[in-house]
């Protein structure tokens, strides 16, 4: 076993930490308050190579491994989880999916600018009646000569209004159920494709989440990803890696809150001493640290398995399930340690607590992760 990071991994971790401190921290409270998309910060993240981290250099990416990616996700998420979900979706769901399953023309046309951060991607699976039950797609894509015609509505789409390219999961042959599902690359501005209303959210308020409406959108056949009927496998395989990114996001939210709580406990005094000297507070910090370390091991193990070319469905699901629970528990305790100040925006922990909740919901709820985990262990 080797628990050491490589020099390259340590360098990118440090670069992400510096970037988060100098360029994400200023303005993070205001962006949260105003639900403002971090446009300038996303542009910078593109320049730094954070938007195509795992994409090979040949296709405009940084050519890094998944371990480096989760290290970056953790550092960004400590400070601004709205920014890190944008990074996660573009890397894990859009660029990774296109590099793995797209054809050469699709990679040249879409993957290169996406990985360079020149344009942004979105992944569109969820529908009003197909969130967890992802096989029940109602959005249709019907063949018409050299095109497919897409009709339907997608919900809760990250980067909904800000993306340029959308990977859209649709049903073509309902009689074949999940084997009739197709995934398409849809461009913003294609006639009939409308951005629906923006969601007003509890957390990750800087990330823009919209419904999307497709009214007879004509998409050329060359924009289908993979063979006819490959769409559900595409979504599942892509999401399996996405879950590692969200697990790393949850880990970052937890460790960000923990670091703030620990620092606060060393300066805030009560009963004549710094509050970290009270066992009630010290034991909370001990629990937080232990749980975060356990989550970190699960996240890194899943990333390492992916880098080794092993199956990571189980380890990714366990990492997401556990790290998201740790994010909730840790942020709640971080608010508690801050007392009254924890309830005040300028101390950051109340935002981290609100941001933590989504990690138990998107890219497969905790209950869905338990389905994936239980099925996998019962097969062993």
Residues of this chain that interact with ligand CAA (CB under 6 A) are 89, 123, 125-126, 132, 134-135, 158, 178, 232-233, 236-237, 239-240, 313, 362-364, 368, 371-372
Q: Evaluate the CA torsion angle 326, 327, 331, 332 in order and state its sign.
A: negative
Inter-helix orientation angle 349-358/313-338, to 10°: 150
Q: Evaluate the CA torsion angle 73, 78, 84, 87 in order and state its sign.
A: negative
* Least distance between ligand CAA and beta carbon 82 (Å): 12
Q: Which is nearer to ligand CAA, 212 or 239 (CB)?
A: 239
Q: Evaluate the CA torsion angle 325, 39, 98, 49 in order and state its sign.
A: negative
Asked if 348 and 356 touch (Cβ cutoff 8 Å), the reply is no
* Least distance between ligand CAA and beta carbon 128 (Å): 13
The 3-class secondary structure across 235-253, one letter per residue, is HHHHHHHHHHHHHHHHHHH
Q: What are phi and psi of 4, to 5 degrees?
A: -85, 140
Compute the distance between CA of residue 117 and CA of residue 40 in angstroms, rounded to an integer. Answer: 12
Compute the distance between CA of residue 193 and CA of residue 44 in angstroms, rounded to an integer. Answer: 28
* Least distance between ligand CAA and beta carbon 52 (Å): 17
Q: Which is nearer to ligand CAA, 108 or 136 (CB)?
A: 136
Q: Which is nearer to ligand CAA, 246 or 261 (CB)?
A: 246
The set of catalytic residues is: 363
Q: Which is nearer to ligand CAA, 126 or 360 (CB)?
A: 126
* Least distance between ligand CAA and beta carbon 239 (Å): 5
For residue 92, what is the DSSP state?
A: I
């Amino acid at each position: 076993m080797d628990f050491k990071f490589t020099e390259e991994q340590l360098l990118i971790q440090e670069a992400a930490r510096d970037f988060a401190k100098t360029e994400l921290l200023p303005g993070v409270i205001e962006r949260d308050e105003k639900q403002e998309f971090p446009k300038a910060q996303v542009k910078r993240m593109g320049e730094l190579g954070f938007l195509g981290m795992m994409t090979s250099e040949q296709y405009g990416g940084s050519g890094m491994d998944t371990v480096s990616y989760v290290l970056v996700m953790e550092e960004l998420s400590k400070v601004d989880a709205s920014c890190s979900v944008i990074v996660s979706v573009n890397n894990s769901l859009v660029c990774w999916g296109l590099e793995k399953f797209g054809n050469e023309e699709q990679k040249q046309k879409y993957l290169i600018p996406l990985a360079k951060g020149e344009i942004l991607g979105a992944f569109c699976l969820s529908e009003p009646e197909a969130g967890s039950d992802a096989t029940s797609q109602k959005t249709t894509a019907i063949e018409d000569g050299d095109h497919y015609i897409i009709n339907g509505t997608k919900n809760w789409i990250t980067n909904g209004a800000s993306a340029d390219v959308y990977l859209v999961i649709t049903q073509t042959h309902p009689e074949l159920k999940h084997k009739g599902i197709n995934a398409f690359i849809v461009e913003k501005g294609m006639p009939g494709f409308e951005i629906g209303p923006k969601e007003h959210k509890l957390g990750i308020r800087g990330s823009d989440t919209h419904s999307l409406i497709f009214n007879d959108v004509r998409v050329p056949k060359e924009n289908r990803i993979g063979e006819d009927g490959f769409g559900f496998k595409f979504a599942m395989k892509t999401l399996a890696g996405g879950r590692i990114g969200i697990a790393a996001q949850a880990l970052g939210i937890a460790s960000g809150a923990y670091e703030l709580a620990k620092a606060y406990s060393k300066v805030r005094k009560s009963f004549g001493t710094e509050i970290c000297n009270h066992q009630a507070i010290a034991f909370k910090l001990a629990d937080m640290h232990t749980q975060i370390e356990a989550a970190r091991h699960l996240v890194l193990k899943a990333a390492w398995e992916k880098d080794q070319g092993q199956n990571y469905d189980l380890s990714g699901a366990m990492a997401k399930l556990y790290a998201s629970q740790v994010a909730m528990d840790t942020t709640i305790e971080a608010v508690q340690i801050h007392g009254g100040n924890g309830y005040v925006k300028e101390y950051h922990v109340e935002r981290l607590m609100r941001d933590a909740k989504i990690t138990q919901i998107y890219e497969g709820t905790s209950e869905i992760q338990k389905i994936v985990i239980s099925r996998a262990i019962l097969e062993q």
